[in-house]
Amino acid sequence: MTKEQLEVATFAGGCFWCMVEPFESQQGIKTVVSGYTGGHVENPTYEQVCSHTTGHTEAVQITFDPTIFSYEQLLTAYWQQTDPTDAMGQFADRGDSYRPAIFFHSPEQQAAAEASKQALQESRRFSKDIVTEILPAVAFYPAEDYHQAFYKKNPVHYERSHEGSGRAGFIRENWEG
């Protein structure tokens, strides 16, 4: 596999700790990096992003082989990890640094994301509107090392956060039934 055949996708869906494992476990995913994007501060720290003064949101950047796992499949996996009706954060994590967003890297990704969002809206799975933003990708800054693959490094804390935030229950209630 040459580098030219790989693509990049960037998704924000609340706490980035909970956005890695669902993608990393899929065939065709090469890397999933937790980081920050969408803001006006270069190389922000976690503390700066948490201050809600940088404009950044926590996100994951995924490098993938589209011949094995397509962008459309990534979108499906993304929706199933989020509450797409909540623009003010995700689950227990509140504020703009936790807002849901799809950051597209090409016109094809933009079109696919918009079509996917429209299909979800039309499905009436949710009684509220789908408010996840679809935005052009901008600079992405990897988070500090201790945030990378957090679910592997700190499985007990990760599970407690995944359950305690309300994310796991929301997924069970809205996506697994």
pLDDT tens per residue across span 73-88: 999 999 999 999 999 9
User: What are phi and psi for residue 5, nearest 5 degrees?
Assistant: -85, -15
- pLDDT tens digits, one per residue of 14-44: 999 999 999 998 999 999 999 999 999 999 9
Query: Strand 100-104's sheet: what is its strand order?
Result: 133-136, 100-104, 7-13, 57-64, 29-37, 140-142
- pLDDT tens digits, one per residue of 120-146: 999 999 999 999 999 999 999 999 999
CB contact at 8 A, 86 and 100 = yes
Give the percent of the chain with pLDDT over 90.
Answer: 93
Report how far apart the first and last C-alpha atoms of the chain are (Å, whole number): 37
Please give the average per-residue pLDDT across 102-128, as a whole number.
97
* pTM more than 0.85: yes
Tokens standing for 26? 């899929």
By annotation, the residues acting in catalysis are 15
